[in-house]
């Protein structure tokens, strides 16, 4: 005679393992502890899992992603411990699902984003759940929401399925050039939009770092360096005979702003992180409206 209780237990164990990524022994113990109550056992496993994943290797790999919907765009980065996650179906599905949830939400920074609902879970719970399945620590490191006006245009580009994601806002639509400019930003890594955007404190910092890396500053060499990291004065990666600023001027257009996310920016394996991009994703991001 078939033991229905046994079949039910096996079904619950299988479902709980899929939901939490826990082992058979841990799952059975959780069900026994909570007298077969599925939701209580699940909460118990996820709580213990959170404790276990709190002190693992540095999570500096992963993917960036962007989603555009009409006049709104979001950029975000989810980090994990190894490059293997980039080919993991659970991790990739999570990245897409997070984007689908965030683009329709009102969240404007990481702490709000983690509370956004994704089905019957929050994004924070979804990341924890996926961490258990892929056996790697993962977290939402940063998140931007960007708005534009109807008359403005987005350009976007993703490199290697999300190793780099870039977004640019122009004051008018320049057709194919919008995305070509975003690709240029991915390849050329500009730090500034134009010289006029570099304030005194930033210039002092750039001077200090240049002296630290190259010795005494030559005005000519330092200016060449600034040209190389400023979008307006960079030579177009697809046509090195012309600067980006010249192309923009010829089209009577203006670049409003740009954003460039690269996986692991500012993180190394010793957790030495840049001040402007903290390891823990604690930077409060704004919602630019142009």
Q: What is the pLDDT of residues 112-143, one digit of tens each?
A: 999 999 998 999 999 988 988 888 989 999 99
Query: What domains does the chain contain, in order, with CATH numbers?
Result: 4-55 (1.10.8.10), 61-194+230-262 (3.30.479.20)
Nearest-CA neighbor of 66 among 138, 177, 175, 142? 142
- Above 50 in pLDDT, residue 67? yes
Whole-number Å distance between alpha carbons of 257 and 15? 47
- Above 50 in pLDDT, residue 289? no
Nearest-CA neighbor of 144 among 8, 265, 284, 37? 284
- Above 60 in pLDDT, residue 50? no
Task: Say how many CA atoms lie within 13 Å of 207 toward its Cβ.
Answer: 11
- Above 80 in pLDDT, residue 268? no
Whole-number Å distance between alpha carbons of 180 and 89? 29
* Distances 100 to 93, 103, 110, 124 between C-alpha atoms, Å: 11, 6, 15, 15
* pLDDT classification of 6: cutoffs 50, 70, 90: very low
- Above 70 in pLDDT, residue 287? no
pLDDT in tens, 10-28: 887 888 777 776 778 888 8
Task: Say how many CA atoms lie within 13 Å of 150 toward its Cβ.
Answer: 0
Between 103 and 269, the higher pLDDT residue: 103
Q: How many CB atoms lie within 10 A of CB 120?
A: 7
Q: What is the pLDDT of residue 110?
A: 96
Whole-number Å distance between alpha carbons of 107 and 153? 22
pLDDT average, residue stretch 206-210: 91
Indicate the range of 83-97, 198-212, 274-288 predicted with least confidence: 274-288
* pLDDT classification of 281: cutoffs 50, 70, 90: very low
pLDDT in tens, 243-260: 999 999 999 999 999 999
Whole-number Å distance between alpha carbons of 23 and 71? 45
Whole-number Å distance between alpha carbons of 247 and 80? 39
pLDDT average, residue stretch 66-77: 98
Whole-number Å distance between alpha carbons of 49 and 20? 8
Nearest-CA neighbor of 139 among 129, 130, 127? 127
Between 141 and 267, the higher pLDDT residue: 141
Whole-number Å distance between alpha carbons of 288 and 290? 6
- Above 70 in pLDDT, residue 51? no
| Greatest pairwise CA separation for the chain in angstroms | 89
Indicate the range of 33-37, 86-90, 230-234 predicted with least confidence: 33-37
63 — alpha (psi -120 to 50), left (phi > 0) or beta? beta
Partners of residue 261 on adjacent β-strands: 165
Looking at every residue in the chain, the average pLDDT score rounds to: 86
* Distances 274 to 188, 251, 267 between C-alpha atoms, Å: 20, 37, 7
pLDDT average, residue stretch 65-86: 96
pLDDT average, residue stretch 89-95: 96
pLDDT in tens, 155-183: 999 999 999 999 999 999 999 999 999 99
């Amino acid at each position: 005679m078939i033991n229905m209780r046994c079949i039910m237990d096996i079904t619950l164990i299988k479902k709980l393992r899929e939901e939490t990524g826990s082992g058979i022994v841990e799952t059975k113990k959780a069900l026994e502890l909570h007298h077969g109550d599925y939701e209580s056992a699940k909460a118990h496993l996820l709580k213990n899992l959170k404790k276990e994943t709190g002190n693992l290797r540095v999570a500096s790999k992963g993917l960036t992603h962007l989603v555009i919907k009409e006049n709104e765009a979001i950029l975000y980065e989810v980090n994990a411990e190894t490059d293997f996650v980039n080919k993991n179906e659970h991790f990739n599905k999570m990245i897409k699902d997070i984007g689908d949830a965030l683009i329709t939400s009102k969240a404007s920074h990481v702490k709000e984003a983690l509370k956004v609902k994704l089905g019957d879970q929050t994004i924070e719970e979804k990341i924890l759940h996926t961490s258990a399945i892929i056996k790697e620590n993962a977290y939402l490191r940063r998140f931007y929401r960007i708005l534009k006006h109807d008359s403005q245009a987005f350009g976007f580009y993703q490199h290697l399925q999300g190793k780099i994601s870039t977004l640019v806002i122009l004051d008018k639509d320049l057709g194919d050039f919008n995305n070509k400019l975003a690709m240029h930003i991915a390849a050329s890594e500009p730090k500034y939009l134009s010289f006029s955007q570099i304030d005194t404190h930033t210039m002092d910092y750039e001077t200090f770092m240049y002296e630290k890396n190259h010795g005494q500053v030559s005005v000519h060499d330092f200016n060449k360096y600034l040209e190389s990291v400023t979008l307006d004065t960079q030579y177009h990666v697809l046509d090195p005979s012309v600067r980006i600023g010249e192309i923009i001027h010829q089209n009577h257009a203006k670049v409003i702003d740009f954003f460039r996310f690269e996986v692991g920016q500012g993180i190394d394996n010793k957790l030495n992180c840049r001040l402007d991009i903290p390891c823990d994703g604690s930077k409060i991001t704004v919602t630019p409206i142009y």
